[in-house]
Structure 1
Amino acid sequence: MQAMFINGRGALDDAHRLIDTYGDDAGFEAAILAEQSRSDGNVVRFCHWRQIERVIATLASDEVHGSIH
């Protein structure tokens, strides 16, 4: 997996809000929001929600990625 890029605190806040609201289904909800944004033609929001989906998957993973210091 490549290094995770997180575009500011707002991205983490959105991920946290979805996890609090949807629990294990938070990633699915982020995917739904991404698809809605794509359907609306909003590329920026589509990319945002896809990033949130990846952040949620990373937070839920037990695997270690990158270097350990």
Structure 2
Amino acid sequence: MASTPFVDRASWEDAARLMAIYGTNAGFEAAALANRSRDIGNVRHFCRWRQIERLIVSLSRQTTEGSRH
């Protein structure tokens, strides 16, 4: 069972913004931002954008995994 990524409010807002702008390609944009951060040596932002990418994937699923309360 996949777990929901832990993110703060700003990450939720960034995920929503990317989804509004890029639609179904939002996850790819988050991955590109993560790669860009990694390339310049910013590990903190790399990890943050990877979590946002996972969040976008989780939000984009058509089915739920496990119970939601």
TM-score, normalised via structure 2 length: 0.89
| Identical residues among aligned pairs (%) | 49
Unaligned runs of 5+ in 1: none
Q: Quote the offset at 1:66 in angstroms.
A: 2.7
Q: Deviations over 1:12-43 (max 9, x none)?
A: 00000100111111000000000000001000
Q: Quote the offset at 1:62 in angstroms.
A: 1.3
What is residue 49 of structure 1 aligned with on the other side?
Answer: 49
What is residue 4 of structure 1 aligned with on the other side?
Answer: 4
Unaligned runs of 5+ in 2: none
**In 2, distance between residues paired with 1:7 and 1:68?**
18
The letter of the residue matching 1:25 is N
Instruction: Within 5 Å, give how 1:1-69 maps onto structure 2.
Output: 1-69=1-69
TM-score, normalised via structure 1 length: 0.89
The letter of the residue matching 2:18 is L
> How many residues align structurally?
69
Q: Please tell me the root mean square deviation across aligned C-alpha atoms, in Å.
A: 1.3
